[in-house]
Amino acid sequence: MNVYFYRAECGDAARVHFRGNDGKRHNIFIDSGYERTFELILRQEISKIKTRGDRIDMWLISHIHDDHIGGAVAYLKAIKTGELPDIVDSWIYNPPRPAGLQINGRQTSPLQTLSSIEQGDGLTGYLSDHGKIPQSDITSKFPVQDLFGLKLTMLAPQPTQLGKLRDKYAPGRVRSLQRIEPEPEEAARQFDYHIPLGEFDPEEWNEDDSVENGSSISLLMDAGGKKILWLADSLPGSIIRSLKKLGYSKTNPLVCDWVKVTHHGSKGNNSLDLYDMIRCNNYLISADGRNKHCLPTKECLARILRSRFRPLDSRYFLVFTYNNKVLRKIFDVDGPGVFDQYNFQVKYSDRKWIRV
């Protein structure tokens, strides 16, 4: 199994390529970045898959924020114009509301892209028109999926979190052009890279209250013993609840090979309690450091590196999808000794993707 984490600025886009137990090649896409992510990267990747005679067995869209859904909507546009064929066999996606709703006196267009909720409407409309919309809600109660030997265990959202999303965007409760990506608080707009790693209080934090992030689909992927924890933009409380139901705890942690860190390393989505329940050496942070939300936060990285149950003789790797001056200065204030003190290494990517 090869996993490709694509550059999507402060967004998520990835592909899993594996040979199934049927002896054939298979592809799964997870999220899609912005619309421009499709033009810069995904268009070419999909063309290569088509040229090889392969298909996309499944495309998972975690939630409706435009840094996760935008590339998929751009792909639908390319299908509509005849530039690319539809080679996606199935979708994992939770529609925020039914297709064809009348919003402010007009029907939602199948390919509107003015805001995240309208992108959600667009994907909903396309999947509905083509008989590809999931027949069941994708929540923590969804059955384990076995895709040619690759197992997918859904961890989030909880059913109540999906209900909150649909309540927020129920008919009559939303302006058609509403943009839902919340503006961060003023304090969150400042980089925290000037604070030494040891000065953060990992136990003090406030959980993100975004309804959209709370509706994110997160999962545990297992292929031949190689496990990847995909956290999208989920809230840690939801993930902890699901891990406990699976029998994991701080003394019986989930052991995995990679963690796709939730919400691009934000401080409100990454708790110490979450990382106390995980044993993993590799943490992928999909963020460019050049965004108005000032992500990733160093406070998040401190919670990963300073987990109370982390074996300090185990070397950790923080892997970024970009390589620039902003990301490279995160630990400048700490000095070079911090890497030995907390036994970790930072890796940066100069390519359009990271393959693991």
pLDDT digits (tens, 9 = 90+) for 213-262: 999 999 999 988 899 999 999 999 999 999 999 999 999 999 999 999 99
The dihedral sign for the CA sequence 238, 241, 243, 249:
positive
317 Cα distance to chain centroid: 19
Q: 20-59 burial by CB neighbour count: b if 16+ within 10 A, else e?
A: beeeebbbbbbbbbbbebbebbbbebbeebeeeeebbbbb
Q: 231-257 burial by CB neighbour count: b if 16+ within 10 A, else e?
A: bbbbbbbbbbebbeeeebeeeebbebb
Alpha helix segments (H runs only) across 2-141: 35-37, 43-51, 66-80, 116-129
Ordered by start, the domain boundaries in the chain are: 2-355
Q: Is the pLDDT of residue 109 over 80?
A: no
Q: Give the separation between CA 297 and CA 275, rounded to whole angstroms.
A: 16
And the tokens for 41? 């990267």
pLDDT digits (tens, 9 = 90+) for 21-30: 999 999 999 9
pLDDT digits (tens, 9 = 90+) for 184-222: 443 446 899 999 999 999 998 899 999 999 999 999 999
And the tokens for 79? 């299908």
222 has which bridge partners?
A: 151, 227
And the tokens for 171? 């008919």
Q: Give the separation between CA 279 and CA 253, rounded to whole angstroms.
A: 6
Pick the CATH number of 2-355 from 3.40.1550.10, 3.60.15.10, 3.40.50.12280, 3.40.50.970: 3.60.15.10
pTM: 0.92
Rg (C-alpha) for the chain, rounded Å, is 20
Q: Is the pLDDT of residue 113 over 60?
A: no
